[in-house]
């Protein structure tokens, strides 16, 4: 008896059918995690704006005054510390012109400059100018100012989306907002968000010392001491 021959399935036909099924399956996911979602970033949806501001300290000067008060000196010291942390450019001392106390204010500049230098501000980081004060302002202030930057993130709105229903598989609108807000509040100097800082000038004295030792054949590295070992305790030794 002849055997009943079963039809042989076409491998090419099976391959085309598999590709067709796969294409249908992928088309169902076409709206999920597309290119626009793959490029999603909280830096774009919740940007941090950095603005330049002027910090100013007003020191009132009475007619005939020749020196700052102790409270003025404390304010100058605190102002100088803030400048060292976040200040950019030079610090400016502005004296009033055309006011009854203009002479006293001008004589107070040297005292203010000395207080700033005592607080760690370099002499060449201080500049001077004048501003027009009202002729009847008997205690027109001396203004000390510098430029700094502030960072502010976009506001985070309340959670109004149903996170259990995200048919497009997108991130919630508030995704990353809190992180951006925290970064804007915690960054030490918001100017760092605008770009990298410039390198400080090389230490010429240290460079000369190293080159001199190199020419003499001496060790150029800093000598290590026992406290540089990194050991927390020597109890077990």
Q: Are 135 and 99 in contact (CB under 8 A)?
A: yes
State pLDDT tens for residues 93-115. 999 999 999 999 998 999 999 99
Global pTM reads 0.63
Q: Give residue-wise pLDDT tens across range 22-53.
A: 555 454 454 445 555 555 677 788 899 999 99
Nearest-angstrom CA–CA distance, 111 and 93: 11
* pLDDT score recorded for residue 112: 94
Structure tokens at 79: 């102002």
User: What is the pLDDT, as a whole number, of residue 7?
Assistant: 46
Residue written as token pair 């000038």: 201
Low-confidence ranges of the chain (pLDDT < 50): 1-10, 25, 27-28, 30-32
pLDDT of residue 53: 95
| Ranges of each domain in the chain | 49-152
**Per-residue model confidence (pLDDT) at position 227:** 65
What are the beta bridge partners of residue 128?
Answer: 93
Nearest to 79 by CA among 64, 92, 65: 92
49-152: CATH architecture: 2-Layer Sandwich (3.30)
């Amino acid at each position: 008896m002849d055997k009943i021959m079963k039809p042989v399935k076409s491998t090419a036909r099976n391959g085309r059918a598999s590709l067709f099924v796969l294409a249908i399956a992928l088309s169902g996911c076409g709206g999920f995690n597309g290119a626009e979602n793959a490029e999603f970033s909280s830096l774009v949806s919740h940007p941090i704006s950095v603005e330049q501001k002027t910090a100013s300290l007003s020191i009132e000067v009475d007619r005939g005054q020749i020196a700052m008060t102790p409270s003025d000196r404390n304010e100058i010291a605190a102002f100088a510390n803030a400048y060292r942390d976040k200040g950019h450019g030079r610090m400016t001392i502005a004296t009033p012109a055309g006011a009854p106390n203009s002479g006293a204010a001008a004589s107070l500049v040297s005292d203010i400059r000395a207080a700033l230098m005592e607080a760690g501000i370099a002499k060449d980081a201080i500049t001077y100018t004048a501003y027009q004060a009202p002729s009847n302002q008997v205690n027109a202030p001396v203004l000390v100012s510098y430029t700094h930057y502030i960072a502010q993130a976009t506001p985070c709105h309340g959670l109004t989306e149903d996170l259990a229903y995200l048919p497009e598989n997108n991130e919630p609108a508030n995704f990353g907002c809190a992180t951006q807000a925290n970064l804007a509040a915690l960054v030490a100097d918001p100017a760092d968000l605008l770009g990298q800082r410039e390198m400080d000038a090389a230490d010429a004295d240290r460079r000369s010392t190293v080159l001199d030792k190199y020419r003499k054949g001496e060790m150029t590295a800093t000598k290590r001491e026992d406290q540089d070992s990194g050991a927390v305790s020597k109890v077990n030794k």
